[in-house]
Structure 1
Amino acid sequence: MKAQLILEDGTIFIGEGFGSHNDAIGEVVFNTGMTGYQEILSDPSYCGQIVMLTYPLIGNYGINRDDFESIIPAVKGFIVKEVCEFPSNWRSEFTIDEYFKMKKIPGIAGIDTRKLTRIIRQHGTLKGAICSIENDANEVLSKLRQTRLPIDQVRRVSTKNAYPSPGRGKRIVLVDFGMKHGILRELNNRGCDVVVVPYHTTADEILQLRPDGIMLSNGPGDPKDVPEGIQMIKDVLGLVPLFGICLGHQLFALACGADTGKMKFGHRGSNHPVKEEATGKVSITAQNHGYTVDRNSIQITRLQVTHTALNDGTIEGLRHLDFPAFTVQYHPEASPGPEDASNLFNQFLEMIETQKQGVATTCQNVLI
């Protein structure tokens, strides 16, 4: 079935539709990862977005039961150069076309993805629509330009109720702003006793769970659209060790008095170099974000920049100068991508242990 991709600037691409025959409108973004399309399509951070993959062949190893980052994909649509009809992998259970039909996600293949990437890099992210070739392009374009993109993505993808992921180790409250399951897996692999809570959970409700540490997850959209999370972070800061990832990093910055802003086309891929300021060590990281912390705004806070993106100099990591709290803009859990930064989860647990020992020493001194 012929399909068309229409951008709000009037550009039209004609290709072959796959997956669902539904129409879709969303923000068109691109991801430069060469593999990991299953993790990308199931990443809640893409809620409301139409994702284009710059790597030309997608679907060649199929869809399997193990590599999902969420149960219900939130992506609005997929754009690829070529979609594989006959995947070859021992874990494959569905083709990407079959999976998209089940989940009612439309896709379009056979368009010039290099041209589309250049358009986005030049003009920034644009609204777009995937629809049948039979739809009148002018009517679709008019509707597209009038459409306001959602600002409640976190509410849509966050868990509705708290739930446990039991372990024998440290109690971690994981605040779900659109959590990738990779974060939960990393904590479980370290024996943590995890309680996942909704994005609007208050500081009092979190503290009642007696956490040893608090993890702020990734998630979609503009951090300024999540005032509940910003207030919660303000209220727990200094009381419990804290580690934030991606959207959690941005919310942490806002809670500490810094500012954030929208990037022209964001960072999305598995090959972004990041430098650690203290050591000069460079890690290749997985990233997915369209907003960043404003560097100038850090000067009026008690935050210190710990990591910087080598490609454009944007902030990739922060730590608080007074409290046990640090965050990163990239994804140490990868999924997909390199695992260069997975040791940050160990650093988080070590920070919790150091904080506990410090409290114990203080109590002993008081008793003496």
Structure 2
Amino acid sequence: MTTHTDPLTGRGRATLVLEDGTAFTGLAYGAIGETYGEAVFSTGMTGYQETLTDPSYHRQVVVMTAPHIGNTGVNDEDAESGRIWVSGYVVRDPALRPSNWRSQRTLEDELVEQEIVGICDVDTRALTRHLRESGAMRVGIFSHTDESAETLAQRVREQPQMAGSELASEVSTKETYVVPAQGDRRFTVAAVDLGIKGMTPRRLAERGIDVHVLPADCTFDQIQQVNPDGVFFSNGPGDPSTAPQVEVLRQVLESGVPFFGICFGNQLLGRALGFGTYKLKYGHRGINQPVLDRTTGKVEVTAHNHGFAVDAPRDGEPVQAPAGEQFGRVRVSHIGLNDNVVEGLECLDIPAFSVQYHPEAAAGPHDAAYLFDRFVELLAKHSTSKTKENN
């Protein structure tokens, strides 16, 4: 094998190859080796540490559209989970050194430590435009080979596709744990971990909620053992059409316990109600996505990370849930303003709602934080009604 080293940076050469044969040459960034995944792009100008540690990015190679990455380094406070989940990382211009008072080490050192193969000095604008036009696709990054792009593309095409992949079980907690309420405890919530971000139970705990985080393969009986005032389904990776949690969620809805879901949880609510889901051409990823909340008429700037969406009527008019009369009427409560994608569901006859984006919003924005308050209001209303029934 011939070694190619850039004389200015000392970095070795690396190659990125898409499944359609398109290839980009750059420099090795992070660990040396090879990696595969689905190529997706994130439009966030900041928050790269939160992106890297978001379990929803499991088995994806993330292309950052912001050209300069790594300025603020890495710290021990901002991670959304215990490890980096992306399969690979693509940036144009990595920072020479971090410059932030909270920085504890460089981004590249963290990538090397966690064995994340990346590539830099790539025309990420051209790569992003190609993914927008052709759609998200499988990709490989290679920093230790002289094989031809054609040979590498064939290896990329041998990798599993995202459509049809069940991945939530691969990122979920294996054991139940509790995030205790801050201050006076008001409610108990069973949160099913499909790839939950660390900030989410923290946002619930800030509102006086004991959060019992359960594994993705939990049963309805195990949820009931928590004696929850409400149930929460988190974000997560994979194709919602493969998720076994849909049947568990139907049992939750039939029980009358209030439900709130985000991202993957929104897709599963859609499927539990009888709607379909489909794969988006290139998805929504980043912290600058505009969404209309039809309940208030306000436009929110929101954080997204999803490649699938719910297929439901988008005119905002209530319809009978296709899965059965027991679920009552449902309407699309939020809509994406870039492409009219369903961004939220609201059940009108049972206590359940969901959104496709991330109201915990680490590293921001915070326009959607009110959704946690909306969930608390639903819990309080249901608790009051249950007390009256018992009396």
- TM-score normalised by structure 2 residue count: 0.90
Residue 84 of structure 1 pairs with residue 111 of structure 2 = no
Q: Deviating runs (4+, > 3 A) in structure 1? A: 296-300
Secondary structure, aligned partner of 1:232: helix
The residue aligned with 1:313 is 340
Matches within 5 A, 1:146-225: 146-149=158-161, 151-167=165-181, 168-225=185-242
The residue aligned with 1:64 is 75
The residue type paired with residue 62 of structure 1 is: G
The residue aligned with 1:234 is 250
Secondary structure, aligned partner of 2:357: coil
* Structure 2 residues without counterparts, runs of 5 or longer: 1-11, 322-328
**Which protein has the bigger helix share?**
1
Contact 1:258 1:300 in 2 (8 A): no
Contact 1:4 1:130 in 2 (8 A): yes
1:144 corresponds to which of 142, 150, 156: 156
Residue 73 of structure 1 pairs with residue 90 of structure 2 = no
Secondary structure, aligned partner of 1:327: strand
The residue type paired with residue 306 of structure 1 is: S
Matches within 5 A, 1:1-368: 1-132=12-143, 134-137=145-148, 138-149=150-161, 151-167=165-181, 168-227=185-244, 229-237=245-253, 238-296=255-313, 299-301=319-321, 302-364=329-391
Give the Cα–Cα distance (whole angstroms) in 2 for the partners of residues 320 and 276 of structure 1: 15
Give the Cα–Cα distance (whole angstroms) in 1 for the partners of residues 146 and 62 of structure 2: 21
The residue type paired with residue 64 of structure 1 is: N
The residue type paired with residue 228 of structure 2 is: P
Q: Percent identity?
A: 44
Secondary structure, aligned partner of 1:287: strand
The residue type paired with residue 328 of structure 1 is: V
The residue type paired with residue 210 of structure 1 is: N
* Structure 1 residues without counterparts, runs of 5 or longer: none
1:85 to partner: Cα distance: 2.6
Contact 2:313 2:332 in 1 (8 A): no
Q: Give the count of matched residue pairs.
A: 363
Aligned in 2, Cα 1:169/1:300: closer, same or farther, shift over 3 Å?
closer
1:43-89 Cα distance to aligned partner (Å, 9 max, x none):
00000000000000000010011110110221100000111131001
1:336 to partner: Cα distance: 2.2
Give the Cα–Cα distance (whole angstroms) in 2 for the partners of residues 332 and 356 of structure 1: 24
Give the Cα–Cα distance (whole angstroms) in 1 for the partners of residues 120 and 45 of structure 2: 16
The residue type paired with residue 251 of structure 2 is: D
Contact 2:33 2:144 in 1 (8 A): no
Secondary structure, aligned partner of 1:361: helix
Give the Cα–Cα distance (whole angstroms) in 1 for the partners of residues 179 and 200 of structure 2: 12
Give the Cα–Cα distance (whole angstroms) in 2 for the partners of residues 339 and 96 of structure 1: 25
1:239 to partner: Cα distance: 2.5
Contact 1:257 1:300 in 2 (8 A): no
